[in-house]
Amino acid sequence: MKLHKSLNTYATVMTSLSSMLGSGWLFSSFIAAHLSGPLSILAWPIGGLLISLIALCFSELSSSLPITGSIARYGQISHGPIVGFIISWLAWLSLVAVAPTEVQATLMYFSSYFDGLSYIENDLLVLTFKGKCVAIVLLFFFTLINYFGIEFISKLNNAFAIWKIIIPTLTSIILISTHHNFDHLTIHSTQTSLDGLFETISTVVIFSYLGFKEATEFGEEIKNPQSSIPIAVLGSVFFAVVFYMLIQFAFVISIPDAWIKDGWHQINVNGLAPFSNLAVSLGLAYLAKVVIADAVITPFSAIIIYTSITGRVTYAMSKNSYIPKFFSKLNMFGIPFNAIMLNFTMGCLLFYPLPSWQILLKFQSIAMIVAYLIGPITLVIFRETSPQLNRPFLLPYKNLIPILTCFACTMIIYWSGYVAINLLNNAILIGCIIFIGLLYITKNKILTRQCLMQSMWMIIYLLGMQLISYEGSFHHHDNLLSSGVEYICLFLLSSLCFFIAKKWHKDNDIINQEICDIIKN
């Protein structure tokens, strides 16, 4: 049984938009203002520019080679099983964390109205045992919805996406028209710094933009991927930048002065539901009710689509033989439901080591950005190995933009901080141990010396990022590397690994043959 081609251009665009418009708007404006005050408004276009570089690379890649679970397969094609597995593992960890993140966002909003769902620990909102049980039930419900096929999911998503655009936009307009204090925009009214701006970009901003590429994971299920994918990827990024800037601007200028009397770092939203409490404080009770309704609909629609997306990545990992073939089997509706059930199980487990929304958010953002590194690298390699591919979207400056994209990814990763980078490398180590264990059990001898050489760029990159983040001045200004020197080191590291990856990859003929086989099938 094959995957069904069910998505037209409109549905493809709505998939990317719906993936980008999740719980981010409910909390990101508050967290961004807390970290960087009025500078948070600038964080959205800066983050959008960085993400746009990645989006440009994937627009060419995914339109010329549309594969279901694409991010899990490009690295396998270009650099073999080690790189392919690490990229797949990171993308999978990031995507599988989305559904738990969105469930937590909903429960966080409802914690202000229902007791016993969460509590505060070390300034983080953590789910109680009762809250985790409710979260698991919700996850299971949305897992079952995904049983009935991508066409059914697409129709649900199209309806939800319109709501997700209209409600936040109207909320922002109403807040701005009801109460606005433009003095809140003055930089001298806050103690924030560029470090706060960069941290805002690396966490809430990038988290909110991550969904731009998710439509490409349905590559083989899109009716006209050559035109639909670039429109969805680039169009969703442009729309999201304007959308989130409006919401951030509305939040910053409409909040009461009493909320920031002790500074932006001590912002007090009078509870766990920033926008609904803001509406109440401005005498807009009706708007607060609408926001609470949106706190259910917006995250839930993101859960539905991400459950489906993550299933495709798991499906691709099975196709690459990283996990058993059982997970690439399709049900009667052409859905890899075994893969989706595996993701449900992992999502439930994530509520325990990563019990708070903020921790889940930062982890999945950095994991996906590392996975995105494969985009600019494979774009250049595929140009060389497979010039015969139809490229309806052709990226100009084929070396310059990919190098800048690698540097953009590197800065985003660095701004997440040493703790997050260390956690990421530990997660990769655990994944590699599992991978080697599976190969040993199945007696699969794919790990050769040549394969190790082809993955050297990734190993150098991950170790280099850990070292620079440990010695860098970001958050810790008494470390070895000064602010200027650390960015030179980051650029040199990203450029070095880019050229190593470009030089040490699988033979051109092998790559081209694999691509030809994919196109034929």
Assign residue 311 the CATH number of its domain: 1.20.1740.10
Q: Work out whether the CA dihedral 186, 192, 194, 198 comes out positive or negative.
A: negative
In the beta sheet, which residues pair with residue 120?
125
CA distance 100 to 151: 24
Q: In terms of Cα–Cα distance, which of 18, 33, 6 is closest to 269?
A: 33
Q: What is the mean pLDDT of residues 350-354?
A: 64
CB-based contacts of 87: which residues, under 8 Å, 6+ apart?
71, 72, 74, 75, 370, 371, 373, 374
* pLDDT, tens digit, 9 for 90 and up, residues 226-272: 677 778 888 888 888 999 999 999 999 998 888 888 778 778 766 56
In a domain, 139, yes or no: yes
In a domain, 380, yes or no: yes
Q: In terms of Cα–Cα distance, which of 225, 218, 231, 228 is closest to 308?
A: 218
In a domain, 407, yes or no: no
Element (H, E) at 310: helix 285-319
CA angle at 373 for the pair 458 and 403, rounded to the nearest 5°:
100
Q: What is the mean pLDDT of residues 222-227?
A: 70
* pLDDT, tens digit, 9 for 90 and up, residues 270-314: 656 788 888 888 889 899 888 888 877 777 777 777 777 778 778
In a domain, 399, yes or no: no
* DSSP H stretches of helix in 217-284: 225-254, 274-281
Q: What is the mean pLDDT of residues 180-206?
A: 76
> pLDDT at position 242, please?
93
CA distance 125 to 422: 23
Six-digit token pair at 364? 């999945």
Mean pLDDT for the chain?
A: 82
Phi-psi region of 169 (alpha: psi -120 to 50; beta: other; left: phi over 0): alpha
> pLDDT at position 220, please?
61
* pLDDT, tens digit, 9 for 90 and up, residues 480-496: 677 678 889 999 999 99
- Residue 455 pLDDT > 50, yes or no? yes
Q: Work out whether the CA dihedral 36, 353, 360, 274 comes out positive or negative.
A: negative
Element (H, E) at 79: helix 74-79
In a domain, 326, yes or no: yes
222 three-class SS: strand
> pLDDT at position 5, please?
63
Strands 124-127 and 118-121 come out as: antiparallel
* pLDDT, tens digit, 9 for 90 and up, residues 4-62: 565 677 777 777 777 777 766 777 888 888 888 888 999 999 999 999 999 889 888 88
In a domain, 186, yes or no: yes
CA distance 336 to 316: 10
> pLDDT at position 218, please?
64
CA dihedral 83, 85, 86, 91 (to 10 degrees): 120
Q: What is the mean pLDDT of residues 380-404?
A: 89
Chain Cα centroid distance, residue 406: 16
More confident residue, 156 or 162: 162
More confident residue, 143 or 508: 508
Q: How confident is the model at residue 368 (pLDDT cuts 50, 70, 90)?
A: confident
For tokens 């990645």, what's the residue? 54
Kindly state the percentage of the chain with pLDDT values over 70: 86
CA distance 73 to 96: 17
More confident residue, 325 or 351: 325
Whether the Cβ atoms of residue 118 and residue 108 lie closer than 8 Å to each other: yes
Q: How confident is the model at residue 189 (pLDDT cuts 50, 70, 90)?
A: very low
End-to-end CA, the chain: 12
> pLDDT at position 471, please?
85
Whether the Cβ atoms of residue 401 and residue 376 lie closer than 8 Å to each other: yes
In a domain, 506, yes or no: no
**Structural domain for 148, as ranges:** 9-116+129-392
In a domain, 371, yes or no: yes
CA distance 455 to 133: 41
Residue type, 35: L
SS (H, E, C) 2-42: CCCCCECHHHHHHHHHHHHCCCHHHHHHHHHHHHHHHHHHH
| Count of domains for the chain | 1
